[in-house]
Amino acid sequence: MQTDNFKLFVKDEDFKMKIYKIAEFVEKYLKKKYPKEEFKIILDYDGIDERAVIRIVFKKKLKMTKNTEKEIDRINEIIDNVSLRCHEKFNELMYYVLVTSDLEVL
């Protein structure tokens, strides 16, 4: 888990620990539910909206084919599922947290 910017900008230790707990939950959920997906998690902080950002970076080898759209749809489905589980488990904190994704094309 990459946390450099998050550690730099978030000073409240209690808030940090809560966000780490959510990020660990996301990581465990992804490994259990989607074991074949390669990803890394980056924690960041959006100072404008004052929200922690849990960014899931999926590592994919993609070529522009019909399957490309299916892969992107799958990533969107995964993010929707992760966000839903986070809202169920950490509802009171989700106003301060954004779960999002990026795609690292290899």
The tens digit of pLDDT for each residue in 1-21 reads 888 888 888 888 999 999 999
Domain harbouring 8, CATH code = 3.30.300.20
Residue 102: its pLDDT value, please? 83
Domain span at residue 87?
Answer: 4-105
Report field, pTM of the whole predicted structure over 0.75: yes
As beta bridge partners, residue 105 has 60
The tens digit of pLDDT for each residue in 40-81 reads 999 999 888 888 999 999 987 766 667 788 888 889 999 999
Cβ burial, residue 65 (10 Å; 0-12/13-18/19+):
exposed
Domain count, the chain: 1
